[in-house]
Amino acid sequence: MNVLKEIVHNALMSLGPVQRLAMRWHSTGLNNREDSAKATYAFMRERVSVEGRDVLELGPGQTLLLLRYANQDGARSCVAVDIADYFEGRRQDQHGVRLEIYSGRAIPLESESVDVIWSNDVFEHFRYPNDMVAECFRVLRPGGTMVCRVDVRDHYQADERRFADNLRYPRWLWNAMTWNRSAFTNRLRYSEWLAIFERVGFEIIEKEPYLVQALRDEYKSRTDLQRWSEVDISARGFHAVLRRPAVR
């Protein structure tokens, strides 16, 4: 990355009109494609049931399809929260899904008000990851379940050998280059996420790192990566199923 260019880019993205213009070209992942939304919903449903439950999705980006499917399958209520408004002010989807836009630090829901939280490729974008995991714990009812899929790759690189390039920069510089941009990543690795989940009080029910050989090779060849474990660097992402313990 050209550091100076990225800093200027990031500074421009702090301007509301520039940010809104840039959103027209964003790719948010599922991008409202039905086939990918169905596959992602099936992934969530394998891990948690929605019938009669209050469901929250973090960071739906450009698609409310997952929550529409949950609504069709008998969820009691479906709400999504995001920091970016891809729906241009429309808050109530006609398929029973509510969308709230917020600052990304305090979820705008009552404590213990949902049974299920899910998110696909969102945790890595949290600007305040510790606060956000604590917020997820707060809004979940005791016994509630959270399923997250997290993509820890450098979002500015397409070549898998460079998926850990974001770790080359000190935090202040990385933030100066990317904080205001949609491809910002907080750069937390697999074990760091697990530690936050446990610290906040979640039980880890299921966890699986997605390991990549090219990243393992990077780990062996780069001295700056040695302060992480081999698994932490080799994982391009992971999923986890967390439970807020039921009150005894």
Ligand X SMILES: C[S@@+](CC[C@H](N)C(=O)[O-])C[C@H]1O[C@@H](n2cnc3c(N)ncnc32)[C@H](O)[C@@H]1O
Which residues are CB-contacts of 107 (< 8 A; sequence separation ≥ 6)? 56, 58, 81, 132, 135, 136, 138, 139
When the beta carbons of 150 and 177 are compared against ligand X, the nearer one is 150
When the beta carbons of 133 and 225 are compared against ligand X, the nearer one is 133
Question: At closest approach, how far in Å is the CB of 10 from ligand X?
Answer: 16
When the beta carbons of 82 and 219 are compared against ligand X, the nearer one is 82
When the beta carbons of 153 and 189 are compared against ligand X, the nearer one is 153
Count helices and strands in the chain by DSSP H and E runs: 9, 8
Question: At closest approach, how far in Å is the CB of 88 from ligand X?
Answer: 14
Pairing of strands 114-120, 97-101: unpaired
For ligand X, the binding residues (CB under 6 A) are 28-30, 58-61, 63, 81-84, 104, 120-122, 125-126, 132
Q: Which residue in 88, 70, 86 sits closest to 78, CA to CA?
A: 70
Question: At closest approach, how far in Å is the CB of 19 from ligand X?
Answer: 11
Question: At closest approach, how far in Å is the CB of 163 from ligand X?
Answer: 15
Q: What is the SS3 assignment for 50? A: coil
Cα angle value 165/168/172 (rounded, 5°):
120
When the beta carbons of 60 and 144 are compared against ligand X, the nearer one is 60
- Sole residue written with tokens 């979640």: 202
Q: Distance between CA atoms of 225 and 222, rounded to whole angstroms? A: 6
CA 238 vs. chain centroid, Å, equals 11
Question: At closest approach, how far in Å is the CB of 222 from ligand X?
Answer: 26
When the beta carbons of 145 and 185 are compared against ligand X, the nearer one is 185
Question: At closest approach, how far in Å is the CB of 181 from ligand X?
Answer: 11
